[in-house]
Amino acid sequence: MLQRMVISQFPEIYRIMEDSFSDDEYRPYEEQLALFEEPEYGIYYMPIGSESLESQVPDSALKDKPAGFLAVWEFAEFIFIEHFAVDPKLRNSGTGSGMLQELVKLSKKPVCLEVELPDAELARRRIGFYERNGFVFNDYPYMQPPISKGKSPVPLFYGAACEDVNTIGGFANWVQDWEYTICPHCGKPMKYLAQIQWNTLMDGTEGTLYIEFCPDCQLVSMQHQQT
């Protein structure tokens, strides 16, 4: 069962974070710690010794230590997983899969996250892992701004455990290939603004409406895609 982290466990969680992410993907210790002042931020962990791991952990002193953690932002409409990692010593034991599915089941809200681009073998495997757990990925990347001062931006993919989400801002979950309307006034590609799933407006409808705009000319376009 996932447990809510208490502050005394944070050093252990931070160690797993350091072992699991590249430098540009997490904040310095003090900055990570300061996030607990935000009411939406929280960390859930799976204790070592949860069912699937019992046989591998004879030492009862290890129990209640985190085998892995999920750092999440919980908003009214959705949950965003910012960091998710399993202790490198305990990987490939099904822990990660169990944690993710438990969160999706308990949350009753859309769960979304970001992953690295599938250039390297490890990143490809990571995307495969999420897809096996029911996540759907956007097929083009965007740049995550630096997570902390002195760090670099990271190109990432966005994925969600639910396709039927209406969103404003961020980026589109294209049904077909990405598509930006050319502004008829200035000739530049428009910027994406929002997506609306037709079936959330009217029963029996299909596809997605994408709204884009040109900030210079103050024009808006709408286009529809479906499978």
Task: Give me the residues paired with residue 42 across strands.
Answer: 72
Q: At its nearest, how many Å lie between Zn ion and the CB of residue 210?
A: 17
Which whole-number Å values give the CA distances from 12 to 5, 6, 43, 67, 147, in the listed order?
Answer: 11, 11, 12, 10, 21
Q: Compute the distance between CA of residue 96 and CA of residue 100 in angstroms, rounded to an integer.
A: 6
- Residue closer to Zn ion, measured from CB, 15 or 188: 188
Check binding of 193 to Zn ion (CB under 5 A).
no
Q: Which of 185, 191, 205, 224 binds Zn ion (CB under 5 A)?
A: 185
Q: Which of 183, 197, 208, 213 binds Zn ion (CB under 5 A)?
A: 183
Interaction residues for Zn ion, span 206-225 (CB under 5 A): 214, 216-217
Q: At its nearest, how many Å lie between Zn ion and the CB of residue 191?
A: 10
User: Cα–chain-centroid distance for residue 34?
Assistant: 21
Other Cβ atoms within 10 Å of 209 Cβ, number: 16
Q: At its nearest, how many Å lie between Zn ion and the CB of residue 222?
A: 16
Please, what is the Cα angle at 140 between 96 and 185, to 5 degrees?
150
- Residue closer to Zn ion, measured from CB, 104 or 183: 183
Sign for the CA dihedral angle at 82, 87, 88, 93 comes to negative
Instruction: Count CA within 13 A, CB hemisphere, residue 52.
Output: 15
- Residue closer to Zn ion, measured from CB, 31 or 216: 216
Residue range at the interface with Zn ion (CB under 5 A); choices 44-52, 83-91, 175-183, 195-203: 175-183
Residues that bind Zn ion (CB under 5 A): 183, 185-186, 214, 216-217
